[in-house]
Amino acid sequence: MPLALNGIFRWVFYYDDYGVYTHGPMMYTVYGVSIFYMVFCFIVVLMNRNLLTGRQWRAMIGLLFTSLVPILVQMIFIPHQLIEMFFQSIGFYMLMTTVDNFDDLRNPVTKVYNRYAFIKVLSRLSAAGAPARLIVVKLSKSQYFKAEGYENLRINALLHFAADWLDSLDPRINVYDCARGSFVLPVITGDAMFTADLRSKIAERFKEKWTYSELSLTFPVQLCTITIPQDELTPEEILEIIDMPFAEREPGVTFTTPSEVMASIAESPESAADTMDIPQELTDTLDAFLAGAATLTPAEKNVFQCYTRGMTPSQISEEIFISVNTVKKHTKNIYRKLEINSRNELIMYVDLFRRCRRIDDLENI
């Protein structure tokens, strides 16, 4: 509003009788609002730092220096110039390109972080090699998918209550809804007793009923704890463990280990695929993606395969000994041929292939 009316009231800036640019009384209010907004954005990012890569975090620090310092210099030393507007524009642009849209990272039903957000965290944990434990909570497939005679709204409410309860267990732990009744709680700590206590609390709660309106259910649940890096599982194998359906029908809590789940997958590798009814539209979409991938040059395929393993452009540059600019050039061609617009979209396609048990198709292009 002050800027909109500045031409009439000269609240923010004006030129005096000698043609000299001068700040009006509201200019420092504009400064204050700008600084407050940037600091507020930084706090939001800090609260969600588990979703940022190291490169994004460094960009955030660059944002502060690029935007705040020039504003302070302007306010104190050269109040008769307008350079701060330029630096503010750069700063806000950096902010928009640094942080994902958090609405895109949350499940619309359960309101917790979604599968895509978990894949980002898993990639970061795997790359860092930091010790962590993943508590996987699987609801029974029969309860999650069938729910005969129940309204979807009520089932969604129960899922929301369950996810909200899991999210309230500890403020340091986020909950990720990995779809199809699987939730994951990453525990970034070396304290095995803390993880065991957390898992016991989850087991005791899921022995009880979840109630909404006239609907009351006790979910059959399977609990599995994956230890990184001791279990020596690749990100793909971890996702396979999470995706493997739990088909128990009787209420109660079942405990399992990653090795037991992997053995089940090895014994019946077709079982997970058989439980999915893949729509023809999705099959056509994946086939079209493969057709585009088949047109990549050998150099582009090399970069593409690195992306499918969750690598960033800087990591790809170091992995295959080419410059970052060359990686960007190949990436631009890959996006054009695959008809996608971002690395995030590429990762989502790779996850679709994995969940549909067609990841080998991508690796063999």
User: Distance (Å, rounded) from C-alpha 135 to C-alpha 173?
Assistant: 11
| Mean pLDDT along residues 74-81 | 62
Q: Please check whether residue 146 is in contact with residue 217, taking contact to mean a CB–CB distance below 8 angstroms.
A: no
Q: Please check whether residue 234 is in contact with residue 268, taking contact to mean a CB–CB distance below 8 angstroms.
A: no
In terms of C-beta density within 10 A (0-12 exposed, 13-18 middle, 19 or more buried), how is residue 167 classed?
buried
| Mean pLDDT along residues 328-356 | 85
- What was the pLDDT predicted at 148? 38
Read off the DSSP letter of residue 106: B
- For the chain, give the mean pLDDT: 76
Summarised one tens digit per residue, pLDDT across range 137-193 is: 998 865 554 443 444 556 677 888 889 999 999 988 999 998 878 999 999 866 788
C-alpha 130 chain-centroid distance: 18
CA distances from 274 to 177, 235, 270, 278, 356 (A): 22, 22, 6, 9, 10
250 backbone dihedrals φ, ψ, rounded to 5°? -85, 140
| Mean pLDDT along residues 202-227 | 87
User: Distance (Å, rounded) from C-alpha 100 to C-alpha 25?
Assistant: 36
Mention the CATH class of domain 104-274: alpha beta
User: Two tokens at 271?
Assistant: 């079982």
User: Distance (Å, rounded) from C-alpha 336 to C-alpha 338?
Assistant: 6
In terms of C-beta density within 10 A (0-12 exposed, 13-18 middle, 19 or more buried), how is residue 104 classed?
exposed
CA distances from 1 to 30, 40, 276 (A): 11, 21, 55
User: Distance (Å, rounded) from C-alpha 212 to C-alpha 158?
Assistant: 6
- What was the pLDDT predicted at 287? 87
How many residues belong to the chain? 365
Query: Strands, DSSP E only, in the chain?
Result: 13-15, 21-23, 113-114, 132-139, 176-177, 182-187, 210-212, 215-217, 221-228, 253-256
- What was the pLDDT predicted at 101? 52
Report the range out of 19-33, 68-82, 92-106, 183-197 with the highest average pLDDT.
Answer: 183-197
| Sequence-separated (6 or more) residues with CB below 8 Å from residue 365 | 290, 293, 294, 296, 301, 304
Residue of 228, 224, 225 whose CA lies nearest to 121: 228
Q: Please check whether residue 68 is in contact with residue 83, taking contact to mean a CB–CB distance below 8 angstroms.
A: no
Give the H or E element holding residue 318.
helix 313-320
Assign 135 a pLDDT band (cuts: 50, 70, 90): very high
- What was the pLDDT predicted at 150? 44
> Percent of the chain having pLDDT more than 90?
19
Q: Domain residue spans in the chain?
A: 6-99, 104-274, 280-363
Q: Please check whether residue 42 is in contact with residue 64, taking contact to mean a CB–CB distance below 8 angstroms.
A: yes
Specify the higher pLDDT residue, 100 or 210.
210
Specify the higher pLDDT residue, 12 or 173.
173
User: Distance (Å, rounded) from C-alpha 264 to C-alpha 57?
Assistant: 40
Strands 132-139 and 182-187: antiparallel
User: Two tokens at 23?
Assistant: 């700040």
User: Distance (Å, rounded) from C-alpha 24 to C-alpha 15?
Assistant: 10
Query: Strands, DSSP E only, in 159-279?
Result: 176-177, 182-187, 210-212, 215-217, 221-228, 253-256
User: Distance (Å, rounded) from C-alpha 221 to C-alpha 5?
Assistant: 61
Specify the higher pLDDT residue, 147 or 330.
330
Residue type present at position 51: L
CATH topology match: 104-274 vs 280-363:
no
Give the lowest-confidence range in 29-43, 268-282, 293-307.
268-282
Residue of 238, 242, 207 whose CA lies nearest to 221: 207
Task: Write down the residue that tokens 């020039």 correspond to.
Answer: 70
Q: Please check whether residue 170 is in contact with residue 220, taking contact to mean a CB–CB distance below 8 angstroms.
A: no
Domain 280-363 has CATH 3.40.50.2300: yes
